Structure 1
Amino acid sequence: MKTKKLNIANLNNSRVAKNILKGILTIALTVSAVSCDETDEPNFDPQPDGIALNERFLDNRNNELQEFTLDAATGGVIVGNDGTEVTFPPNAFGINGTPVTGNVIIQLIEIYDKAAMVLKNRSTLGKKANGDKEALKSAGQFFIDAKQGTNELELLEMAEVQSRPVDFSDLDGGMKIFRTECDSLENNCDEIDGEGDWVEADEDNNGEQDDAQIKDGQGADGEYATYNYNIGTFGWTNLDRWYSYTGPKTEIYVDVPEGYNADNCAVYLSYDGEPTALARMDVWNTTLEMFTEHYGLIPVGQEVHIIVVTEIDDELHYAIQGTTVVEDHIEVVTSLSPTTQPALEAMINALP
């Protein structure tokens, strides 16, 4: 059995410390001295609320949902607030394989930064064909859907997605297309069960993973480039490449305060130096009562920030801790603090 190494500054309110103390202390209780009226009083302190947290995630996605109207027969182009463009050919929308006519409503969500990933619960954890999981570096996540009245529409022709403009110095030629089983707007992507994992996509069903194409552009501010790719179905897509660290790797554990668990809070691992590499700690170890990950591919020596979020009495609470990963790492989070969502977004996007 491996010995877990603590990487901590303070063990107050830590489950690790409590378990250690339980093992070395024996408390003598004299039953005859305790009356029925001296039983433990119930704990009325505010508790983390997982239902409210998931509602916040869903509200954040709904609040960022943009809608556009197109004529189904002619198709057209929509442009999102962050610069994402989606081009639909004529007669691309249908029901049960039959093209529809008239106006259709196109829905779009764009996610380009870590704060949006955390607060919309859309991390960049990928699953390979052999089941191994590893962090992804993202160039953008997109939800694209179409409706006509109460009818959900299907995509009959390939549509083209173009990312927001990218500086040439920031281009990454290894970007590919990923999909997720968590493909609806309402699904809260239970990454504890793997539903939110991103997998390599084959949009044109040719048996090969789809690469993003880089195209040059010219705008008012000069030359730029974009990532371009095609989609064959509606839902979530992600522009990514594997983090692919070649050095030694390890598992990492996060010890959260007493009363916190996978049902009432979310824990994320933010990679320093990587603006869009964010993995959710997707395993709750019931024996250790800690969050961890079952892929064991965290780079030793990597500087990271642990992000913990929950909802308590309709107020967002958080903890952000920076650390350098050591072998068999245990990070202890002793408490969370109240904050507003704009303040937390600013803190997350200011991380290195």
Structure 2
Amino acid sequence: MKKVLILLMTVSLFMSCDSDSTSNENNLANGAKIGSTFDSMRQKALIEMNQGGTIHYSPDQGAVYKLRNGTTIHIPPHSIVTKDGAEIDGPITIDYIEIFRKEQMAIANTPTMGQVPDSEQKDLLVSGGEFYIDIKFNGEQVEIIAPVKVNIATSNSEADPNGMNLWNGETDNNTNNFTWNLADPNDLIFEGSGPVFGGEGNAGGFYDVLIQNSSSLGWCNIDKFAQFPDPKTRIRIIVPNGFDQTNSSVYLAVRNQPNMLARFDMFYPSNNVFEEHYGLVPVGLDCHLIFVGEQNGQYVYSILSTAIGNNATYSIPSGSLITASSYHQVENAISILP
């Protein structure tokens, strides 16, 4: 397992942030590989989601980067240095992506699957916000020597903010499955005592996340386990011929739960089946089974809404596939699900 970083690509970002920030042509940090056209399409979507830009940082004044939706990134004075320990005084590049809803998770392939502590089991999480952050100076990632704070409004997510924990995102190089692991408190913590704290200009209603060191740059998450009742069941999905784990994914969304998404993480080529093998959801729960794939360089998708049967198998007929003009069309189709 390794920390997920975004593919190294160049993109022009035209953002309206605080008065000190500027439009910038950014390079996103890379730890992932392009293995298929589908991977490449996902990476391009992630680049479009990047809300970062360039801002001036001085060691005496620090820097503050503000987003339109209320998120603020505080980089205090004397909190970042170069890899060789030199002070930074000049323009720094911030890459920042925020994901709050299931349709964004499906496009970015960042489902809310959390590793259960002291277990091989993974379980479904409900998210108060996923975010990716990287900070560079002269094209190189900075060293964090004093905590950098990300201040996120709880109103961006419909999830109950109480009881949230912090997680780091990791991917398995062999399966490309994305998993959230509880963050080490030496790396990533909430500021203060408790999950929700007062933010700038607001008496409460913010998550104040402190990034303690550079090892936690990358994907982070504010989540808690969904805690569905037993009995739970395993589910299988038969996908159309020509699709497998390299050019498609199958997800499970729960009715009336916009802030969570499970991924069917095992593929069996002998019968063209994706399987969710941990048993995440209770029998009878109303869910949406979401197929997203790539065909001839375009997105295709299909959505099946059903109450989950015990040890059930479902099929995605080839005739149900809809070709999308862009990933935004796929997002829209998922976003309108009840």
TM-score range, shorter chain: 0.7 to 0.9
Gap runs ≥5 in structure 2: 1-34
Give the conservation status (yes or no) of the 8 Å contact 2:236–2:273: yes
Residue 235, structure 1, aligned to residue 218, structure 2: yes
Residue 122, structure 1, aligned to residue 110, structure 2: yes
Counterparts of 1:169 and 1:288, CA distance in 2? 38
Give the conservation status (yes or no) of the 8 Å contact 2:287–2:308: yes
1:82 match = 69
Give the conservation status (yes or no) of the 8 Å contact 1:212–1:239: no
User: How many matched pairs?
Assistant: 293
1:276 match = 259
Q: TM-score, normalised by structure 2?
A: 0.79
Q: 2:280 aligns with which of 297, 312, 315?
A: 297
Give the conservation status (yes or no) of the 8 Å contact 1:93–1:99: no
The SS at the match of 2:155 is coil
Cα distance change, pair 168–318 in 1 and its aligned pair in 2 (3 A)? closer
Tell me the CA shift for residue 288 of structure 1: 3.6
- How many percent of aligned residue pairs carry the same amino acid? 27
Counterparts of 1:246 and 1:314, CA distance in 2? 41
Cα distance change, pair 211–283 in 1 and its aligned pair in 2 (3 A)? farther
What's the RMSD between the two structures over aligned residues?
2.8
Q: TM-score, normalised by structure 1?
A: 0.76
Q: Which runs of 4+ in 1 moved over 6 A?
A: none
Q: 1:180 aligns with which of 169, 177, 197?
A: 169
Q: 1:102 aligns with which of 63, 79, 89?
A: 89
Residue 250, structure 1, aligned to residue 194, structure 2: no
2:100 match = 112
Counterparts of 2:57 and 2:300, CA distance in 1? 44
Cα distance change, pair 276–169 in 1 and its aligned pair in 2 (3 A)? closer
1:46 match = none
Residue 343, structure 1, aligned to residue 329, structure 2: yes
Tell me the CA shift for residue 164 of structure 1: 2.7
Residue 204, structure 1, aligned to residue 193, structure 2: no
Q: Deviations over 1:272-328 (max 9, x none)?
A: 121111011111124443001231222211111111111222221110110111110
Cα distance change, pair 256–302 in 1 and its aligned pair in 2 (3 A)? same
1:154 match = 143
Give the conservation status (yes or no) of the 8 Å contact 2:187–2:211: no
Q: Which structure features the higher share of strand residues?
A: 2
Give the conservation status (yes or no) of the 8 Å contact 1:166–1:225: yes
Gap runs ≥5 in structure 1: 1-49, 183-188
What code does the residue aligned with 1:77 have? V
Give the conservation status (yes or no) of the 8 Å contact 1:177–1:211: no
Cα distance change, pair 154–229 in 1 and its aligned pair in 2 (3 A)? same
Counterparts of 1:203 and 1:61, CA distance in 2? 28
Q: How does 1:134-145 map to 2 (within 5 A)?
A: 134-145=123-134
Tell me the CA shift for residue 161 of structure 1: 1.6
